């Protein structure tokens, strides 16, 4: 649990891992989750799009849409209460989550069946912009409500998509309070006459759409909106809870980066965006940092062929140049973070994590930059 302690996660309820795409954020999320579970905590990890190797390491099938128990045999620590450790993992499936929300919160099974069978719902649940963000929010609230989970580790989508997810509760609240919902829920006659008073432009658009397509979707849309009417308060309540949860002192936001210049600049921009959103970063973890390089004296005294020694010397010079660039990148991140946000590094293991013990090793090697 060394990495979790270094990051101050030992008593956190929620750990949110954010960062640009391609920095190993999903792997780091899984590593922290496994490490916490191996030390005795009951952990649920929700990941967005794990790589195939990580799916294998966590024992998740490609189509799993519900939490799956991950066996911890062989990775539990000797620490007190380690035997109590439990890990469940799941991939977010927005469509399945949306379906389960309807089944759980519809006023009756008949209403739920009607919504799920409707063509508007079928299209929206698969294609609505932002539906994945809303459903991740719903799943997060459900996992947090399960008191069997000591800690929830959330692996977010890359960069801008993660910001969209973090903003999803506010957008959902605005949608539920919007005039559009009120108008769409009105009867067809009131809607069309009412638009004549309140919104002439909208009436014109609807008329043109009807004539151009001949589909006349308005009754279906109205039926869809009305079918959700009794569930709006519940959506709003859970959205407010998600907002509070993301900003709670019991939540740790971890910003993940790698030492490449482009990724560092993306991480700095991301940190600024999080600050504007009112989210405090608990720590920055720089992933895949090069290990310390050997001293030149070791190469000079090595008993190897002269030509091989020359090649190794050239390689060492190249690696030193990379290490200098890496050090400058770490300094830029440290300067951007100021003195209030810890900067930690996760060394490059030299291989892709394929087993749970690989993830534990990665988490254990996280330490101060």
Q: Is the pLDDT of residue 138 over 90?
A: no
**Mean pLDDT confidence for 328-351:** 84
**Is residue 205 one of the residues assigned to a domain?**
no
Q: What is the pLDDT of residue 291?
A: 83
Three-class SS state of 369: coil
Q: What is the pLDDT of residue 3?
A: 64
Per-residue confidence band for 189, with pLDDT thresholds at 50, 70 and 90: very low
Phi, psi dihedrals of residue 259, rounded to the nearest 5° = -80, 5
Report whether 140 contacts 17 (CB < 8 A).
no
Q: What is the pLDDT of residue 180?
A: 53
**Is residue 173 one of the residues assigned to a domain?**
no
**Is residue 113 one of the residues assigned to a domain?**
no
C-alpha angle 275-280-286 in degrees, rounded to nearest 5: 95
**Is residue 141 one of the residues assigned to a domain?**
yes
Q: What is the pLDDT of residue 357?
A: 86
More confident residue, 231 or 186: 231
**Is residue 243 one of the residues assigned to a domain?**
no
Helices of type H across the chain: 2-6, 25-38, 52-58, 94-105, 109-117, 119-127, 131-145, 159-176, 179-184, 188-198, 200-213, 218-227, 232-246, 261-276, 296-300, 306-337, 356-364
Per-residue confidence band for 196, with pLDDT thresholds at 50, 70 and 90: very low
Q: Is the pLDDT of residue 251 over 90?
A: yes
Decide: residue 27, CB within 10 A, 0-12 exposed, 13-18 middle, 19+ buried.
buried
Q: Is the pLDDT of residue 258 over 50?
A: yes
Could you give the C-alpha distances from 70 to 33, 43, 74, 141, 329, in angstroms and in order? 11, 10, 12, 21, 36
pLDDT tens digits along 212-238 = 545 455 566 667 777 777 888 888 888
CA separation for the pair 242, 244 (Å, rounded): 5
- What domain range includes position 255? 2-103+134-160+250-368
Q: What is the pLDDT of residue 198?
A: 42
- Which CATH number characterizes residue 39's domain? 3.40.50.300
**Is residue 234 one of the residues assigned to a domain?**
no
> Model's pTM, two decimal places?
0.79
**Is residue 362 one of the residues assigned to a domain?**
yes
Q: What is the DSSP track for 129-155?
A: TTHHHHHHHHHHHHHHH-TT-SEEEEE
**Is residue 334 one of the residues assigned to a domain?**
yes
Q: Is the pLDDT of residue 185 over 60?
A: no
Q: What is the pLDDT of residue 132?
A: 73
**Mean pLDDT confidence for 188-216:** 49
Q: Is the pLDDT of residue 340 over 50?
A: yes
Cβ neighbours for 81, distance < 8 A, ≥ 6 positions apart: 40
Q: Is the pLDDT of residue 250 over 90?
A: yes
Tell me the pLDDT of the chain averaged across its residues: 78
Q: Is the pLDDT of residue 353 over 50?
A: yes
Range in 73-77, 109-113, 128-132, 320-324 the model is least confident about: 128-132
Per-residue confidence band for 191, with pLDDT thresholds at 50, 70 and 90: very low
Q: Is the pLDDT of residue 253 over 90?
A: yes
Phi, psi dihedrals of residue 296, rounded to the nearest 5° = -60, -30
Question: How much of the chain, in percent, has pLDDT values that exceed 70?
Answer: 77
More confident residue, 188 or 156: 156
**Mean pLDDT confidence for 291-305:** 77
Question: How much of the chain, in percent, has pLDDT values that exceed 90?
Answer: 14
Q: Is the pLDDT of residue 188 over 50?
A: no
CA separation for the pair 107, 123 (Å, rounded): 22
Q: What is the pLDDT of residue 109?
A: 92
Phi, psi dihedrals of residue 87, rounded to the nearest 5° = -130, 130
Q: What is the pLDDT of residue 184?
A: 53
Q: What is the DSSP track for 161-204?
A: HHHHHHHHHHHHHHHHTSHHHHHHTS-HHHHHHHHHHH-HHHHH
Name beta bridge partners: 18. 255
Per-residue confidence band for 43, with pLDDT thresholds at 50, 70 and 90: very high
Range with top average pLDDT, 32-36, 71-75, 179-183: 32-36
Q: Is the pLDDT of residue 329 over 60?
A: yes
Buried b / exposed e across 282-312, counting CB within 10 Å, b at 16+?
bbbbbbbbeeeeeeeeeeeeeeeeeeeeeee
Q: What is the DSSP track for 202-238?
A: HHHHHHHHHHHH----HHHHHHHHHHTGGGHHHHHHH
More confident residue, 247 or 309: 247
CA separation for the pair 237, 146 (Å, rounded): 17
CA separation for the pair 154, 14 (Å, rounded): 7
Per the structure, how many domains does the chain have?
1
Cβ neighbours for 140, distance < 8 A, ≥ 6 positions apart: 14, 46, 152, 154, 242, 245
Q: Alpha carbon 277 to chain centroid distance?
A: 16
């Amino acid at each position: 649990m060394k990495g979790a302690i270094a990051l101050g996660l030992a008593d956190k309820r929620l750990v949110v891992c954010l960062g640009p795409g391609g920095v190993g954020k999903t792997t780091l999320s899984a590593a922290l989750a496994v490490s916490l579970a191996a030390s005795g905590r009951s952990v649920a990890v929700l990941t967005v799009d794990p790589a195939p190797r990580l799916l294998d390491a966590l024992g998740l099938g490609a189509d799993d849409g519900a939490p799956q128990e991950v066996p911890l045999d062989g990775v539990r620590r000797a620490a007190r209460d380690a035997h109590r450790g439990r890990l469940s993992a799941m991939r977010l499936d927005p469509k399945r989550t949306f379906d389960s929300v309807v089944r759980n919160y519809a006023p009756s099974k008949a209403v739920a069946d009607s919504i799920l069978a409707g063509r508007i719902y079928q299209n929206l649940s698969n294609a609505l912009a932002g539906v994945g963000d809303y459903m991740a929010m719903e799943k997060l609230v459900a996992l947090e409500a399960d008191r069997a989970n000591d800690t929830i580790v959330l692996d977010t989508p890359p960069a801008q998509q993660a910001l969209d997810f973090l903003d999803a509760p506010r957008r959902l609240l605005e949608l539920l309070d919007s005039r559009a919902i009120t108008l769409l829920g009105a009867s067809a006659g009131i809607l069309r006459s009412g638009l004549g008073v309140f919104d002439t432009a909208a009436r014109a658009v609807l008329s043109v759409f009807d004539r151009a397509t001949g589909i006349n979707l308005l009754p279906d849309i109205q039926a869809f909106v009305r079918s959700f009417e009794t569930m709006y308060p519940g959506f709003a309540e859970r959205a407010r809870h998600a907002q509070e949860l993301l900003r709670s002192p019991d939540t740790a936001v971890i910003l993940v980066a790698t030492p490449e210049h482009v990724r560092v600049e993306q991480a700095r921009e991301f940190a600024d965006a999080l600050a504007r959103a009112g989210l405090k970063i608990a720590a920055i973890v720089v992933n895949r940092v090069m290990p310390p390089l050997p001293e030149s004296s070791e190469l000079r005294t090595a008993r190897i062929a002269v030509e091989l020694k020359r090649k190794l010397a050239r390689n060492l010079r190249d690696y030193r140049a990379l290490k200098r660039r890496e050090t400058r990148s770490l300094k830029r991140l440290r300067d951007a973070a100021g003195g209030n946000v810890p900067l930690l590094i996760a060394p490059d293991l030299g291989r892709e994590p394929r087993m749970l013990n690989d993830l534990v090793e990665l988490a254990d090697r996280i330490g101060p930059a």
